[in-house]
Amino acid sequence: MTPRQRLLCALRRQTPDRLPVTTHHVMPAFLASHLGGISAAGFFDRFGLDAIHWTVPHVPDAEAGEYPDPLQGGIGFLESRRVSSPEWRVEFEDCSEGARRLTRYRFLTPRRELSMTIEDAGYTAWVRQPLVRQKSDIDVIGEFATAPKCDVAEVNREADEMGERGIVRGHICCFDVFGQPGCWQDACCLVGTEAMILATHDDPQWVHQFLAILQRRKRVFVRSLQGARYDLLELGGGDASSTVISPRIFDRFVAPYDSELIEEAHRAGQRIVYHTCGGMMPLLERIAAMNPDAMETFTPRAMGGDADLAEAKRRIGERVCMIGGFDQFHFLKGCAPEETRREVRRCFQQAGAGGGYILSPSDHFFEADLPLLEAFAAEARNCVY
């Protein structure tokens, strides 16, 4: 099989020629520090992995007066082109404090200005000051925020270029500057995770109002995906994992909104993988009931998750493709190659039966020993059905 055929076979919950093996995102900081700045495509070729090409091109609605953000500059890692309008513009300023690299983003609207501050460590970034700091801020977002659409022609051009070397993957649109594909997860980025959890108890009506605003924006994007030759699109995020929220919060504030987006995506001819980095085991059937095509990341207990691959395969393996499960913290750094190979075989033995499984590190890695990456890929290629 070609890499694309192999990955698609697993996504259809069928049995490929051998275990598909890939990775989630290939972090630019890792490519720069360990491999001389080669491209992501070069990384997949270098280690013989089944390739994933990520692309998230957005296009504005010119008839609605929208235009590409002229201040955004170069598009960064997995960043999308922001969509501006006369009523929704983003400006930014450097407000670094010594070695702490800080950027303040100002969202300009006819009603009032909103702002958020991002801290960037070079290899990753996080929200230092959230966008939503008073409850009425969500009314400003609901009234003025733009809703990007998929640049279908660009996705299809990149799919043609990718060919059989692997699959084309993207994600449901995130909020401008910093967000996540899922509705609840996007809200947590904009409000703060602890504040969102408390709000589900103190003011659930406000939480539902905000989630509906974010969902409407994402729904516009999902409906624009018709005809785009994506192979897989990501929804979700870590803030809906069972190591962050309870099943009760998941049932009330996550599943109702994201399951509707999955249904819309299927109507647009797209596959969805639901991403839950962290705990998953108490939520397995709940996520599968949302009807995604695949689930990830199955983070092992030794990394702070709770995944039991064999139990997960037994419980939901006939309903979704499973992606992930490999402990990159302990077996891509500082161990013997045979230990890495043994971990690959464990994953294959526990989740590979009957196909429908893609071996991958459970989310990103920022450090890895190159010989162990070679052992990871080589042993997976030995796992033949």
pLDDT digits (tens, 9 = 90+) for 290-330: 999 999 999 999 999 999 999 999 999 999 999 999 999 99
**What does the pLDDT read at residue 74?**
76
Contact between 204 and 232 under an 8 Å Cβ cutoff? The reply is no
Do residues 107 and 88 touch, judged by C-beta distance below 8 A?
yes
pLDDT of amino acid 99 = 86
For residue 217, what are the contacts with CB-CB under 8 A and spacing of at least 6? 145, 147, 173, 175
Range of 220's domain?
3-63+147-381
* β pairing state of 149-150 and 294-296: unpaired
29 domain-assigned: yes
Q: In this structure, is residue 79 part of a structural domain? A: no
Position 90 in a domain: no
Residue 280 contacts residue 292 (beta carbons within 8 Å) = no
Q: What band does 79 get if pLDDT is binned at 50, 70 and 90?
A: confident
Dist. CA 326–CA 17, nearest whole Å = 20
Band of residue 130 on the pLDDT scale cut at 50, 70, 90: very high
Q: What are the backbone angles phi and psi of residue 14, rounded to the nearest 5°?
A: -110, 180
Q: Band of the pLDDT at 122, cuts 50, 70, 90?
A: confident
Judging by beta carbons within 10 Å of its beta carbon (0-12, 13-18, 19+), is residue 342 exposed, middle or buried?
Answer: middle
Flag whether 109 is in a domain. no
pLDDT of 73? 82
Q: Residue 318 — φ and ψ, nearest 5°? A: -85, -5
Handedness of CA 6, 10, 12, 14 (dihedral sign): positive
Residues contacting 60, CB < 8 A, separation 6+:
66, 67, 68, 83, 84, 85, 146, 148, 149
Tell me: the pLDDT tens digits for 355-380? 999 999 998 899 999 999 999 999 99
* Calpha distance 229→317 (Å, rounded): 26
Tokens (6 digits) for 372: 């162990």
User: Mean pLDDT across the chain, nearest whole number?
Assistant: 96
Listed residue (208, 190, 288) closest to 249, CA to CA: 208
Question: Stretch 12-38: mean pLDDT, rounded?
Answer: 96
pLDDT of residue 77: 72
Residue 76 has pLDDT above 80, yes or no: no
C-alpha Rg value of the chain to the nearest Å = 20
Q: What is the pLDDT of residue 75?
A: 77
**Predicted confidence (pLDDT) per residue in 141-180, tens digit:** 999 999 999 999 999 999 999 999 999 999 999 999 999 9
Mean pLDDT for the stretch of residues 87-115: 95
Cα separation of 184 and 238, whole Å? 10
Task: State mean pLDDT over 232-259.
Answer: 97
Closest C-alpha to 381, from 357, 353, 359: 359
Question: What percent of the chain has a predicted confidence (pLDDT) above 90?
Answer: 96
pTM score of the predicted model: 0.96
Residue 82 is assigned to a structural domain of this protein: no
Q: Looking at residue 349, which CATH number applies to its domain?
A: 3.20.20.210
Once rounded to an integer, what is the mean pLDDT over residues 187-216? Answer: 98
22 lies in some domain: yes
57 domain residue, yes or no = yes
* Any domain includes 302: yes
Confidence of residue 282 (pLDDT cuts 50, 70, 90): very high
Using CA atoms, how far residue 157 sits from 41, 53, 170, 299, in Å, is: 16, 12, 14, 34
Residue 193 predicted with pLDDT over 80: yes
- Encoding tokens for residue 220? 């516009």
How many domains does the chain contain in total?
1
Interval 191-220 mean pLDDT: 98
